[in-house]
Amino acid sequence: MIQKRRVLVTGANGGIGAAVVKKLLNDGHQVAAADTELHDVHEEHLALLKLELDLRNDESCKAAVNKIMEQFGCIDTLINAAGVCYGGDPLTANLEEWSETFNVNVQGMFRITQLVIPFLQKSAQADIVNISSIWGADYNPNLLSYSASKFAVEGYTGGLRAWALPQNIRVTALQVDKVDTGFRRHLGSKGEFSVEQLKKMLTPDDVSNAVCFVLNMPSTGCVSSMRLDAPLWYKNNEVQN
């Protein structure tokens, strides 16, 4: 029987985060969907708590965690899906955008995770899933700040895992390739792909299914990392009968 969890999902306004929230609700979990803005992405649900959360701000993070505790009583799972991405190579990368990228992708992840850990320590089965990127394992000179931030996420996640596992908190890095979302909106022409390539990208549902696979793993196992590649360059992406 799958354990029913109390889950905080950051970056829940769209794309991967929104798909994860929907999947978790459909599976019967209580979910706090948090983002700087939520609009009308998520329909009202008895098990859903909508929260405004600015990962760049300490007080905003503390307020969000307090509201979750008031509503759910505890937190069993943290899904760090929030992130920003800007283009730029070593000559064209913008320092302001670089700072913003690290503030959200790295410091923001650290900030909210540190606040949630004391509650995860009280859970019978706790998980942290950090949405990372293949560019945290491979190099991308045209997404320099983003790639560097995801290398930092990988380093942070590894250290967090080594610290957390003896305390019955599993920690997973989910490295995703290109996903067909609005995440590439800051990339200009670098973020444009053909219709055929878009069809071969990962979907937010692909990622949400991977997240739930990690969470549904029995307590005898921990998925330390998982990589989801998008087969954009396959010449034939269809199974022949």
d(CA 181, CA 58): 28
Count the Cβ atoms, other than its own, within 10 Å of residue 51.
20
d(CA 161, CA 222): 10
CA 3 to chain centre: 21
AA letter at 181: T
> Is the Cβ–Cβ distance between 181 and 233 less than 8 Å?
no
- Pick from 77, 2, 4, 12: which is nearest to 49 by CA? 12
Helix (H, G, I), strand (E, B) or coil at 84: coil
Residues marked active site are found at: 132, 146, 150
Question: Cβ neighbours of residue 123 under 8 Å, at least 6 residues apart?
Answer: 74, 75, 76, 168, 169
d(CA 111, CA 195): 38
Only one residue has tokens 């909106």, namely 185
d(CA 65, CA 156): 21
d(CA 54, CA 35): 7
Question: Cβ neighbours of residue 71 under 8 Å, at least 6 residues apart?
Answer: 32, 49
